[in-house]
A and B are shown apart, each in its own frame.
Chain A
Amino acid sequence: MSFTDLIGDIVKLYLNNEHSALVLLILLTLASTLLSLLDQQIMSVTFIVTLTVIIKGQQIVDIFMEFHQAPSKWRYLLLSYVILVPLILAIIIYS
């Protein structure tokens, strides 16, 4: 492996890695907590909060669980869970 390959690996690691996922997860958690403090949750707020949960789920599945390099069927199975479950819950509560 050449030195440039190594630098490429480091850049790849730091652009799409656990550190950035952690920052994103914390920011989304804080954002959804702030939105939950609103007295009346209008449709757009609900949509944003649901979206934050979906993004957080995707980050955990793809980055922490390393599913971005797993077989497609398993990845789609897990991703469908983190997309569908929050959506179904939001639809049940707000429909």
Chain B
Amino acid sequence: MNNEMMKKHFLIPVSQNNTKSLPGDLAMWVFIVMELTVFAIFFIAFAVAQRVNENMFALGRESLDLSVGLFCTLFLIVSSYFVALSVKAIKSEDNLLAKRLLIYSLVLASFYLILKLSEYSSLAEQGFDLSFNSFYTLYFLITGFHFMHVLMGMVILAYMGKQANKGKYSANNCSGFEAGASYWHMIDLLWVIIFFLVYVIH
């Protein structure tokens, strides 16, 4: 195997740039920081409400299925992993591999959506809705808002895959790809905290 083939096989970027630079666009990072701030406010609201209504939140948490939260986390983590690999594939000038990795990522994100919808449906059947009590108001608000971000992220990933299929990205022209990937990682990061806050600690 020659050097170029090995580079491609191990997803080593074609051009190694040692200068420190922000992955993607600055505008996307400003947007991501704003999104993270909004979610941080929701998280703190949830924690404060839990502190005030401990019994209500304990009962609310009992109605949630921990395994749903676990599998949602695993799906998003592995999905994020494929997106991270797709960025490396683009930097190795392999658009088709990047497209395939994005498809895997989208499939896993779809599993997340199905699981989350099944949980919403199960809660609705039990009579728990947005107005039932503070726990469900905050639960549906936080996870619903995150759900919409996942949908938005999937549209972005699908667009990136379409562009990759046309061979539009290269090692020197991947800023848009990196920006989309960063948005997806933000979604993963937020879910890690949501899983911790809503399903794990009690």
Give me the interface of A with B, judged by CB distance under 8 Å: 1, 3, 6, 9-10, 13, 18, 21-22, 25-26, 29-30, 32-33, 35-37, 41, 46, 49-50, 53, 56-57, 60-61, 63-67, 69-72, 74, 77, 81-82, 85-86, 88-90, 92-93, 95
Known: A33-B200, A60-B185, A85-B43. A71 touches B70 (CB 8 A): no
- Give complex CA distance A3, B48 in Å: 57
Tell me whether B201 and A71 are in contact (CB under 8 A): no
Verify B83–A64 contact, CB threshold 8 A.
Answer: yes
The answer to whether A32 and B196 touch across the interface, beta carbons within 8 angstroms, is yes
> Shortest beta-carbon distance, A88 to chain B, in Å?
7
Q: Is the CB of B22 within 8 A of A89?
A: no
> Shortest Cβ distance from A69 into chain B, in angstroms?
6
Q: In the complex the two chains form, what is the Cα distance from A22 to B78 in whole Å? A: 7
Given A3-B3, A29-B70, A56-B192, A46-B23 contact (CB < 8 Å): no
CA distance A36 to B61 in the complex (A): 12
**A93 with B201, Cβ < 8 A, contacts A60-B192, A70-B21 known:** yes
Cβ 8 A contact of B197, one of A9, A37, A89: A89
List chain B residues, Cβ under 8 A from A22. Answer: 77-78, 81
> Does the CB pair B47–A63 fall under 8 Å?
no
Min distance, Cβ B93 to any Cβ of chain A, angstroms: 16
| In the assembled complex, B188 has its CB within 8 A of some CB on chain A | yes
Q: Is B66 interfacial (CB 8 A cutoff)?
A: yes
User: In the complex, what residues of A have CB within 8 A of residue B200's CB?
Assistant: 32-33, 35-36, 49
Which of A66, A69, A93 contacts B51, CB < 8 Å?
A: A93
Asked whether any CB of chain A lies closer than 8 Å to the CB of B84, the reply is yes
In-complex Cβ contact of B196 among A30, A53, A69 (8 A): A53
Q: What CA separation (Å) do A64 and B101 show in the bound complex?
A: 14
A36 near B12: Cβ-Cβ < 8 Å: no
Besides A9-B10, A36-B202, A89-B201, 7 more A-B contacts (Cβ < 8 Å) are: A33-B69, A33-B70, A35-B200, A41-B201, A64-B80, A92-B44, A92-B50
